[in-house]
Structure 1
Amino acid sequence: MLMKELEHEVNGWEGYVDYRFRPAKRGRHGGMRAALFVLVVEVLENLAFLANASNLVLYLSKYMNLPPSRSAINVTNFMGTAFLLALLGGLLSDAYFTSYYIYLMSAGIEFLH
């Protein structure tokens, strides 16, 4: 019995499953490949978000004829709403879905943007 538990500890993670709800195995699931995917998505998301926010201030002031102070307020309101939506994603991932599904949905929405 002890040998079977030790073998499971070495080959898999206790309590973790893959997308088909099979036990996760150390050599096959997670690791550097998954971490690299998460890192790349986060870097690209931050680049896109900050580039859009800075360009939005110029767009609002130049083409929409808003004063620079008002356009900056609108952009900070937009950024605040976007950051608060991250809390909604956290609530959904903790209460209703897994964080993996929420992350994939968020990455898909971000790539469509």
Structure 2
Amino acid sequence: MVEANHMNSEEKCCTINSERKSHHSPEVKKNLTSRLNRIEGQIRGIKGLIEKDTYCDDVITQIAAAQSALNSVSKILLEGHLKHCIVERVQDGDEEVVDELLTTIKRLMK
């Protein structure tokens, strides 16, 4: 995953004017948006299955597929966060970011 970094010298990777922001390239944003749109469709489909009294196991299978798709989005976001935000903040001497990262990973592993 390659991301362009188009920021001036006063802007940090994840902090712009002291506000925390992401910094995804247009390609990554498009990829994430496309994935989330598909997941949104999956969720609507699951709702429809429930409304049609579809067999529980079939619904659970679709829920598992949606969860897997969300996990894929999380992995893409986490990779970018590690490669850019975390590295930059550690290089700047902010070691507290490691605790933040550990909390994030624990949340993802629930």
TM over 0.5: no
**Structure label with greater radius of gyration:** 1
Q: TM-score, normalised by structure 1?
A: 0.37
**Greater share of helix:** 1
